Chain A
Amino acid sequence: MTQISRGLRAVLVGFTALVLVVIYTPLLLVLLNSFNADKTFTWPPSELTLHWWDVAAHSTGARSALWTSVEVALAATAVSLVLGTLAALALRPTRFFGRNVISLLIILPIALPGIVTGIALSNMFTTVLGVGLSLFTVVVAHATFCIVTVFNNVQARVQRLGSNYEQASMDLGAGRWTTFRLVTFPMLRSALLAGALLSFGLSFDEIVVTTFTISATDQTLPIWIFQNLFRPNQAPVVNVVAAVLVLLSAVPIYLAQRLSGSHAEGLTGAR
């Protein structure tokens, strides 16, 4: 772009490159560290080995925590897909009193610190409702802050597309449900997938809210990592799990790119 001078351009390029190096250094270190023969990580590493990968592959604790995380994330995503979509469809063209309040209510669970959401829900379950903490309470808590990701994606899509197609469908005699099934839903499909992907990632990685809403006997993967982080004997296994998670983070990026075509700019997990 001609309006940006060469000097400014050079500064921006250099700065961006520098920050990217800083962003990736810790992640590369995690990968390297998983091959470190020594149990404590010192730089530079003295000897490399595949031994810890073998040990981690047989760690039942890590594996069962992984599946727990996947189950929780799937359930939370399912709930937030339904609730987020309903809210987005409800708020679409209509302007009514309290609309802004409702928007604020939907973003509140991610705008307030996780610790507030966590302790508020934990207090409600244990003191007010008398429900014991379990994976169910974790799913409820996760769904609460995942609704916003689905809501945002669906709302952006319906705003962009407007309601002309649906009106055409209904003018041609289709009922409300038929219109939803054959017109609205197909138009929303990729937005729903994107929202689901974000919800899944958000729930899968969540630790603060989880800490407060999970029972003492259940473990999601982040809880397992946190509990084993400071145990000297488990540290090498944690290193490998960490490395695997860094590598796995390429998957949602790949999926999001496929889903969104050239527009992936908003793919944040919001937390």
Chain B
Amino acid sequence: MTATSLEEPPAPDGPPGADRPPPSRARRRRPRPGVRTGLLLLPPMLWLGVAYLGALAALLITAFWSQDDFTGEIQRVWTLDNFRQLFTIDVYRTITVRTLLIAALVTVVDAVLAFPIALYMAKVASARAQRLLVIAVLMPLWASYLVKAYAWRAMLSENGLISWLLAPFGLDTPGYGLVATTVTLAYLWLPYMILPVFAGLERLPGSLLEASSDLGAHSWTTLRRVVLPMAFPAIVAGSIFTFSLSMGDFIAVTIVGGTGQLLGNVVYNNVGAANNLPFAAAVATIPIAVMLVYLAVVRRTGALENL
């Protein structure tokens, strides 16, 4: 089940090789499959393989160039200065660590919130309730990203709803800062976690739960030892989105983040205000490297097939 697909997953227990064409007359008339595949792949591969990968490669190269402080022109001379600054200036190290921690925290919060909801949707709710819940979870996904971030700004303000709700308990709103950023990002990306986990749990055969129960396991034990391990690849699939989206965000940070900066803001400020594209490119290599390592690690869990 793909997070970006409306389709139900293909039947897992279909006969192997059902799609294999029988040796028939039709087969002889076809051009060689390799040629056909190649022709079909040519346009998308030109677009993604040449243009997109080319753009990423050019970005990496730009990261090794520098910027003339006076003219603002890019100087096409190889230098490691950008990376040296990135790794030696404390503020960038702080921002990198902060960004990774917040992205990880948002992912954990979303996984913890999403799992029970997805479990309820997939294995407890009636067919009708399940349909309604899917809609209820999807609706906010289609509401604009900015609108939701802005709503949190209003809620977190001194005169906002959270302050009003917490006042009787002697508490106050966290205001704008890293807590607000984490809460807002977790809110924004929650559906991206719920949906893959729901799809994963829906595929989990009910007979497994029955078997576990027949063998005397309490339902909490079944949950911990059967459901959770089987849902793990789906949770990891969801985490790719929540982690990556959090790591690159700078808009929500601008809206509710107060003075706390993330990597995205550093990139944005260096492209815009500071007009130092080479340094921005060097900063952007951090999320690229982190995501490539992350994707390589999670490949083993089968998460990529759950995307």
Mark A residues whose CB is within 8 Å of B: 1-5, 7-9, 11-13, 15-16, 19-20, 22-27, 29-30, 33, 40-44, 82-84, 86-87, 89-91, 93-94, 96, 102-117, 119-124, 127-128, 140, 143-144, 147-149, 152-153, 155-157, 159-160, 162-164, 167, 170-171, 176, 191, 194-195, 198, 201, 205, 207-208, 211-212, 222, 225-226, 229, 238, 242, 245-246, 249-250, 252-253, 256-257, 259-260, 262-271
Contacts and interface: CB of A to CB of B under 8 A. Distances in A.
A120 B59 contact: yes
Given A8-B223, A264-B135, A16 B41 contact: no
B151 interface: yes
B287 A124 contact: no
Contacts of B219: 3-5, 7-8
Interface residues of B, number: 124
A164 to B, nearest CB: 8
B9 A94 contact: no
Contacts of A242: 144, 146-147, 150-151
Nearest to B251: A207
A150 B284 CA distance: 27
B291 A112 contact: yes
Contact of B47 (A11, A41, A122, A147): A147
Contact of A111 (B62, B127, B209, B295): B295
Given A11-B116, A29-B151, A3 B288 contact: no
A152 B195 contact: no
A12 B40 contact: no
B123 interface: yes
B223 A246 contact: no
A162 B19 contact: yes
Given A4-B209, A115-B250, A229-B146, A191 B7 contact: yes
A43 B38 CA distance: 60
B296 to A, nearest CB: 10
A87 to B, nearest CB: 4
Contact of B222 (A3, A13, A15, A201): A3
Given A208-B251, A229-B255, A153 B62 contact: no
A243 to B, nearest CB: 8
A27 B139 CA distance: 10
Nearest to A30: B151
Contacts of A225: 144, 146-147, 150
Instruction: Give the dominant DSSP class at B's interface.
Output: helix
Interface stretch (B85-93, B174-182, B237-245): B237-245
A60 to B, nearest CB: 20
B232 interface: no
A170 B202 contact: no
Nearest to B59: A120
Interface string B209-248: 1101100001110110000000000000000110011011
A113 B7 contact: no
Nearest to B54: A124
Q: Quick one: which of B58, B151, B288 has the most chain A CB within 10 A?
A: B151
24 contacts: A16-B116, A26-B148, A27-B148, A30-B150, A41-B160, A90-B36, A93-B21, A105-B48, A113-B264, A124-B55, A152-B4, A167-B22, A171-B24, A205-B145, A207-B251, A225-B144, A229-B146, A249-B140, A249-B144, A252-B142, A260-B6, A263-B7, A267-B134, A268-B195
A3 B4 contact: no
B135 A253 contact: yes
B268 A253 contact: no
Contacts, number: 372
Contacts of B241: 110, 270-271
Contacts of A249: 139-144
A212 B8 contact: no
A264 B195 CA distance: 10
Contacts of A119: 59, 267, 271, 280-281, 284
Contacts of A176: 30
Q: Would you list the 7 A-B pairs with minimal beta carbon distance, nearest first?
A: A113-B248, A156-B7, A90-B40, A26-B151, A249-B142, A42-B159, A170-B26
Contacts of A122: 271
Contacts of A24: 140
Contact of A115 (B7, B26, B268): B268
Contacts of A205: 142, 144-145
A56 to B, nearest CB: 14
A207 B55 contact: no
Nearest to A171: B26
A265 B198 contact: yes
Interface in B83-122: 113, 116-117, 119-121
B80 interface: no
A55 to B, nearest CB: 18
A105 B49 contact: yes
